Structure formats: structure tokens, C-alpha cells
Structure 1
């Protein structure tokens, strides 16, 4: 679920707008820019967003999330404060059936922003998520959501909420967040694909200790898990109020809703990338006459393993804004090809290959093929 404590005055006295001297997007672009120490960590980026947002759009609670651009599910989230529960209900609401202003729908809009009170014509109760979960559980009265899209891929999302007695969000609030959305998409990309200062080796044991596999029941409890899976849960962020990690719950909820296998990639706090794969679990008699089809697929089996290098390298290149041709050149470099072989494979002149490489180096922030390989071979 998408929470830290915002501006104290907003938390105590309700939303009182204090417009910043410069636009939200401009301030975020300046303060989220990479420094000599590299890009902001995701935690630091979230703190920056909450602080700057409060100056333009007052709120009671907010959540910044990172999504896997391939699968679209949340893989990391920060909250302005703890809501005292795990993320099972959020995952079920967000990745279940159709609803108003789901993140996947907002991502297809221009701009990719949704205001619940506006989009429901003043009747937020028509949103299942709000009516059955957000309002009765936490007292939230309105919701502003945004997706952070870059080159057609969704890299993150923001959920902002108001409480009892607060006025609804306005289109002006939505415009401020919409203008900042591309800035935040780029900032998340930089955070995801910078090398950790002290990279730790992956600790998910898929060797002699066996695979990391767990079975999740219909109440989202891990009923069976291998020893390696216990380590994997810690790698994925650990339990939250006794609940499984939010990124794992998102995969399980999506698999359960579709009834089909589903997977995503997650960057751990240690800077490693893991692949999560979920599949429905059913007994041998699931297809037999008289079996209860409604009960099949409620239990889900999840496997966790290091993410493939090739997939991560392509994702990293996309995150750095390379063109399709520049991606082709860079991927061949990562495979060890020299300039002549790249030119032959892509039907280019060696001079043109070198021109593309210069642009690749500039966009990724490296000076040589060796540095490019070190930065992009992230698994």
C-alpha cells in the first residue's frame, strides 16, 4: 500500500495550502537531480516528494511507489506514516476487478492523474476501493493519484489522501502533480539503476540450499516455504505488521485474479534484482467432474530467484532514455562485440557505431565500454 509524516501543520490542522515560490515540478527537478554522490536513494526521493508536495498540495497521508514497467505492479512503496496494517487488502483492491482510477488505467491518460471526487462527479463512494477499504478503515475522504510514465513505461505512482473535514482535491492540485510526473519518472529511473555504494552479494540461496519457494493461501499467509524462501522474504523487505512483503502480495493478487501465472522484478534494499513468479496451485482433481472450480487457484505458489541479466540490462538502457538503435548498439557491447562486428550485425558503418556509442556513454554517464558494462550488468 502506498505512507512518513507530511508537513506537521497539514497533519494537525487539515490541508492548508501554502503555494511555493516556484512550481512543484521545477523544485523537484532541481532537488532530485543527481549530484557528485549520484542519484537520490528511493527513501531520500520519497522524503523529498512528501516535503515539496506539502507546500503545494496539502494532504493527510501520501504514498510513493515504484512499479516494474514490464508487469505494472508495485515493487516498492513508502508511506508518510504507518497505517497499522499490512498490504493484503490494498493488493486485493488494486489488482482485483475493475474499479475507478486504478493505477493501470490512470497510466493510459494524458496527463496520467486522477482525482477521485472529480472523476466520480462528487460521489467517491462509487469507487469500490474507497467505499469498502480506504474510507471505513482510515477515514479518507478524497484521493489524488498519479502514474509516472516515461517512453510509454510506468516507473512509479503516487497516492495522496485527505481526511475528515478536508476539502476535496481540486483540478489545480491535479495540474501541479501532473506537471511533476515526468520529473519523478526520471528520478525513479536514476534511483533504480545506480550502483549501490557498497553492493551486497545476493543472499537468495538457489544453489545447494535449494530453491526459494513458498505457498500463499487465500488469507495471504505463507503456509509452506523452503529455507531459502525465508531469506528471500527478508531480501524483499521483510514482513509488515506480520504480513508478507507488499511486492510479493501484488504478484499473488494479480495471479489470483487472472488465474494465470504472473511475474515481476524487484530491486531489493541491498541493490540486488530478484524475479518473482506466481502460479495458481490446484489439486489433481481440479479438472475432474464435480470439483469446485471456485476453490481452485486460491492458493498460489511463488518462486524467487535472481533476475536474468539480459532483461535487466535492456530495462536499464530504457531507463536512461536510449533510442531503439542506441539500445541495439549497447546490448551488443554488453555481449562483448567490437565495433566492426556491431557494424556488420546492424548494417552500419564503424563511424556511425562510434557516434551511437558516444551518445550511449553520455546518456548512461560513463566514459568507456568497461564502465558501461559495469554499470548495466546489474544482476
Structure 2
């Protein structure tokens, strides 16, 4: 059956669905081929690689230990998803990274050993345009460690899943916004990432991003949402402070009905040592620069196409763009046609509207006026 797995995954990836549905379907395909007891699959900011929308099943984990587990994962150097991108196959396993001495991993010593984990197989979904997600599959007591054949299976499906995840994010542009913000959106986390407090708007947004599973018979859940996206940007801040990873502690995420949002984490000021201060996580509508940068990545634009896109968004015409980039007007028109084809926009006006999306109708970027635009389809991550 393993020989057929790639074809089945590719068929699944070719269907139009949201990122959560895609991940759940791929996990079922993997479960048909080899056993695993738990998993963590995050979408990521394409530039910073910070997790945004986690999908996870972790047997035996008390929820109050989740912040510690996330922090330990971000501090881990063995099998870290950002390091796996330097591997040709972009896969790895904890047992190999530690030469079968799991105690050599701080992540395993402090968190995974308590859960009976015997190995983790990891794959990062990244391409030349950015990071789109990473997956950890866990095996626990009573099972063998993952082997090279298991990793080869993950490596073979990686390309199709990466492309599909990027496509899911691309379809988020143009999604309608259901309502206005009800106030500032801020969480305050203790140094161990436990929640000290949050504004009502922060709770609403994080609930929409990662709602708890329904209760019996589909009843509404009686527990609050886990602010996992906030934990991830805060954990990246800790990793940055410890010198593990230099990328910013920020992430862009799309929430259906709320649009593109940017989460950022920073320490509060005060006399205490830095690692003893609280962490503030803010959630703000993504600005035009953020949207433009993500838009270019999710649609797979080349560097020159991004240059042309930026000029179009500033309101420059073909002649002006040709002068700016020192190319012919014919070349500019070819680039514009390529951009429209990749993004599915009918014309330059539609392109501007798609990037601007849920920004105010009278917002301005340089000399370009941004309008509101509708795009087909809904997005949910």
C-alpha cells in the first residue's frame, strides 16, 4: 500500500479545501500506512517560520503543560524544523538526531519522557517561496522508533503537501471580513507562558483561530480556546533571546471572517532580568506591507514579478514601471500578465483590490489608492 500513498496524497492535495481539512485528510492517509500515537501539525508564517494555526493530538498531555511543551520545542536544536530545510529531503527523526540517546535531547528530558514518547518523525513543508508548515508524528511506549523507510514516505509526499498548503493560504486573499474589531487585542503571558490576562477582543480572535472541539452530540464546547498561536510567537521570542533562532517573534495568520492578522511578542519593561519579565502578545490587522509580502509568496511570484507588483500597487503605469526597473514596456506587460495568471486576478485593478482586501476603502500606499475587492471563495485555516 505504501507505493500508492503518494498518488493518494496527491489526489487529496488537488482538491479545493481549507488547510485544516487538508491536514486531517493527509494524516488519515499516513495512519493507513504506519502507526503513530500523536501529532502536531502547524501552519507557519512563510517568512519567520513561526507557527500560527496548530492541529494537534497529544495523548496524556495536561493542557496546563502545553506552554512548556511549545517553549521546549522552540528551544530544541535537534530536529528543529528550521534546521531540516538544509536537508535535501527536509525530514528527520529524533532518534537519529540523538544517535538513539534520547536523553541527549532537552526536549525529551523535560517534556517528552513524561509522555512516554520513544521517537518523533518530522517533516517541514517549505519551498523557495517560504515556510508553510511542519509536522511532528509521535510514537510512544510499546512502539519501535521510526526508520528510514518511514522518513522516505514523508519525503515523497512533502512536495505535493507543500504546494497544497501554499495554495490554501493563497485562497485566503479576498475573503470577506464579517465584523469590526471590538477593541484592542492583547494577551499578557507570564515568563512560563501561562496566561495572566487578555482583552476580550484577543479572546474572540484566538477562539476563531483555534476553537475547541464540540462537546458530545455537537454541543458547544464548555472550555475556552487554547491561545496556541500566542504561545508560538512568545516561544519564538524566548528562542530568539536564547540564541537558538534569530527570526522575529511575529507571524501573519488569516482567520476566516477576521482577515489577515499579525501577532507579535515582546517583553514588558521593568527592573527584573529579561527572562523573568512578562511577555505581551499583540494581535493587529496586518498592514499593507505585510499583506503584499505574503501575497507574493503564496502565489509563487518571482523576485522580478514582486518588483513589478510593488510598482503596480503604488499606482505606477507601464511606462513608469519600465523606467523604474530599466526594462522595456513589453517586458513589464509580460510580467503583469504572468502575475495576473498566477493570482487569478482579471486586471490590475482587481490585483490591487485583492492585495488590499480587508483594509479600509480609503487607505493609501504611497500614491496608490487602495480599494476594496471581492474574490471568490472562503478561507478557513
- Normalising by the smaller structure, the TM-score range is 0.7 to 0.9
What SS is found at the alignment partner of 2:14?
Answer: coil
CA distance in 2, matches of 1:315, 1:73: 14
Contact kept? 2:175, 2:256, Cα under 8 Å: no
* Match of residue 256 from structure 1: 238
CA distance in 2, matches of 1:88, 1:243: 14
What SS is found at the alignment partner of 2:71?
Answer: helix
2:79 is equivalent to residue 104 of structure 1: no
CA distance in 2, matches of 1:149, 1:198: 24
* Match of residue 120 from structure 1: 98
CA distance in 1, matches of 2:155, 2:357: 31
* Match of residue 217 from structure 1: 190
Task: Map residues 18-33 of structure 1 onto 2, 5 A cutoff.
Answer: 19-24=1-6, 26-33=7-14
Structure 2 length as normaliser, TM-score? 0.80
Task: Map residues 15-94 of structure 1 onto 2, 5 A cutoff.
Answer: 19-24=1-6, 26-34=7-15, 39-80=16-57, 85-86=62-63, 87-94=66-73
Q: CA deviation at 1:269?
A: 4.0
CA distance in 2, matches of 1:110, 1:88: 31
CA deviations on 1:294-332 (whole Å, 9 max, x unpaired) are: 7643x1122211011222222221222211111111222
CA deviations on 1:186-208 (whole Å, 9 max, x unpaired) are: 11111112047962335434xxx
2:204 is equivalent to residue 231 of structure 1: yes
Contact kept? 1:63, 1:77, Cα under 8 Å: yes
What SS is found at the alignment partner of 1:22?
Answer: helix
CA distance in 2, matches of 1:295, 1:106: 28
Contact kept? 1:59, 1:160, Cα under 8 Å: yes
**Unaligned regions of 5+ residues in structure 2, if any?**
214-222, 243-247, 359-381
* Match of residue 272 from structure 1: 259
Q: 1:335 to 1:201 in 2, by over 3 A?
A: farther
Contact kept? 2:44, 2:131, Cα under 8 Å: yes
CA deviations on 1:208-254 (whole Å, 9 max, x unpaired) are: x4x32232113433324344334333344357965741110111222
Contact kept? 1:220, 1:249, Cα under 8 Å: yes
Q: 1:186 to 1:32 in 2, by over 3 A?
A: same
Structure 1 length as normaliser, TM-score? 0.81
Task: Map residues 1-379 of structure 1 onto 2, 5 A cutoff.
Answer: 19-24=1-6, 26-34=7-15, 39-80=16-57, 85-86=62-63, 87-96=66-75, 98-137=76-115, 139-151=116-128, 153-195=130-172, 199-201=176-178, 203-205=180-182, 209=183, 211-237=184-210, 244-259=226-241, 262-270=249-257, 272-283=259-270, 286=271, 293=273, 296-297=276-277, 299-379=278-358
Q: 1:170 to 1:201 in 2, by over 3 A?
A: same
Contact kept? 1:221, 1:243, Cα under 8 Å: no
Q: CA deviation at 1:114?
A: 0.8
Q: CA deviation at 1:151?
A: 0.2
CA deviations on 1:246-294 (whole Å, 9 max, x unpaired) are: 11011122223444983222222436111112111132xx2xxxxx537
CA distance in 2, matches of 1:91, 1:155: 18
CA distance in 2, matches of 1:198, 1:153: 22
What SS is found at the alignment partner of 2:149?
Answer: helix
Q: 1:271 to 1:146 in 2, by over 3 A?
A: farther
CA distance in 2, matches of 1:163, 1:132: 16
Q: 1:128 to 1:269 in 2, by over 3 A?
A: farther
What SS is found at the alignment partner of 1:352?
Answer: helix
CA distance in 2, matches of 1:197, 1:71: 23
Q: CA deviation at 1:377?
A: 2.8
Relative contact order higher in (CA < 8 Å, ≥ 6 apart): 2
Contact kept? 2:93, 2:120, Cα under 8 Å: yes
Give the stretch that moved more between structures: 242-251 or 161-170: 242-251
Q: 1:150 to 1:353 in 2, by over 3 A?
A: same
Q: 1:67 to 1:294 in 2, by over 3 A?
A: closer
Q: Report how many aligned residue pairs link the two structures.
A: 342
